Amino acid sequence: MNQPSHGKTTADTVKFQNLTVVNSFLTSSGFQQSVLTTSTGYSITVVNLDNYRFNASSGTGSLTTTIGGGSATAETI
């Protein structure tokens, strides 16, 4: 996930809400919107100051580029 200056640490749990995605994201990532907005959130691994990753509960997806046009609220719980 790209979230500039996120301030999160590895093992934080992040819950995604208010997800607005573009079809190119769903097609490219392999995720469904309902998978990303799980009520329990996801434990993250910080990559750097602007990026972190997580393992989704189902599906397989991997992106190595940034796709613009979508938005989400990423709340640390």
Query: Cα–Cα distances in Å, from 58 out to 14, 46, 54, 69?
Result: 16, 21, 12, 24
Confidence (pLDDT) at 35: 79
The yes-or-no verdict on residue 60 having pLDDT over 90 is no
Q: What percent of the chain has pLDDT over 70?
A: 57
Using CA atoms, how far apart are residues 76 and 57, in angstroms rounded to an integer?
A: 18
Confidence (pLDDT) at 70: 57
Q: Which of 21-25, 30-34, 41-45 has the highest mean pLDDT?
A: 41-45
Using CA atoms, how far apart are residues 26 and 61, in angstroms rounded to an integer?
A: 9
Cβ–Cβ < 8 Å for 59, 35: yes
Where in the chain are the domains? 13-76
Which pair of structure tokens corresponds to residue 2? 């790209």
Which pair of structure tokens corresponds to residue 46? 């910080």
What tens digit of pLDDT does each residue of 36-57 get? 788 889 999 999 999 888 887 7
